[in-house]
A = this chain, B = another copy of it.
Amino acid sequence: MLTTHPFDDDKLREECGVFGVAGAEDAAAMVALGLHALQHRGQEAAGITARNGREFYSHRALGPVAGNFDSAEVMDKLKGDYACGHVRYSTTGAGTLRNIQPLEADLASGGFAIAHNGNISNALKLRDELVRSGSIFQSTSDTEVIIHLLATSPFRTLLDKFIDALRKVEGAYSLICMTPDGMIACRDPLGIRPLVIGKVGDAYIFASETVALDLVGAEYIRSVDPGELVIVTDGELRSHRPFGDTHARPCIFEHVYFSRPDSIVDGSSVYSVRKEIGAQLAIENPVDADYVIPVPDSGTPAAIGYAEKSGIPFELGIIRSHYVGRTFIQPGDGVRHLGVKLKHNANRPLVNGKKIVLIDDSIVRGTTSLKIVQMMREAGAAEVHMRIASPPTMHSCFYGVNTPRREKLLAAMKSVQQMCDYIQADSLAFISIDGLYRAVGEDSRQDIQPQYCDACFTGAYPTPLTDQDEKEQPDQLTLLNESAPTRDEPALAEKVG
Q: Using CB atoms and an 8 Å cutoff, list the residues of chain A in contact with chain B.
A: 24-27, 29-30, 32-33, 36-37, 39-40, 58-59, 64-67, 69-72, 75, 94-95, 97, 105-108, 131-132, 134-138, 147-148, 151-152, 200-201, 211, 214-217, 260-262, 264, 269, 271-272, 297, 300-301, 304, 308, 313-316, 319, 321-333, 335-336, 338, 341-342, 345-350
Contact = CB atoms under 8 A, between A and B. Distances in A.
Nearest to A220: B348
A261 B316 contact: yes
Contact of A262 (B64, B138, B346): B346
B271 A29 contact: no
Contacts of A329: 26, 29, 32, 70-72, 75
Given A26-B331, A341-B215, A313 B319 contact: no
5 contacts: A134-B152, A201-B333, A216-B331, A262-B345, A269-B350
Nearest to A200: B333
Nearest to A261: B319
Number of copies: 4
A483 to B, nearest CB: 20
A7 B222 CA distance: 37
A106 B137 contact: yes
A316 B275 CA distance: 10
Contacts of A70: 326-329
Contacts of A300: 316
Contact of A342 (B25, B36, B135, B327): B36
Contacts of A105: 136
Q: Top 3 A-B pairs ranked by shortest CB distance?
A: A66-B326, A269-B349, A134-B152
Given A33-B328, A323-B64, A136 B134 contact: no
A349 B301 CA distance: 14
Contacts of A269: 347, 349-350
A95 B59 CA distance: 8
A345 B33 CA distance: 13
Contacts of A330: 29
A376 B64 CA distance: 28
Nearest to A313: B308
A108 B136 contact: no
Contact of A131 (B71, B108, B200): B108
Given A301-B316, A304-B314, A132 B108 contact: yes
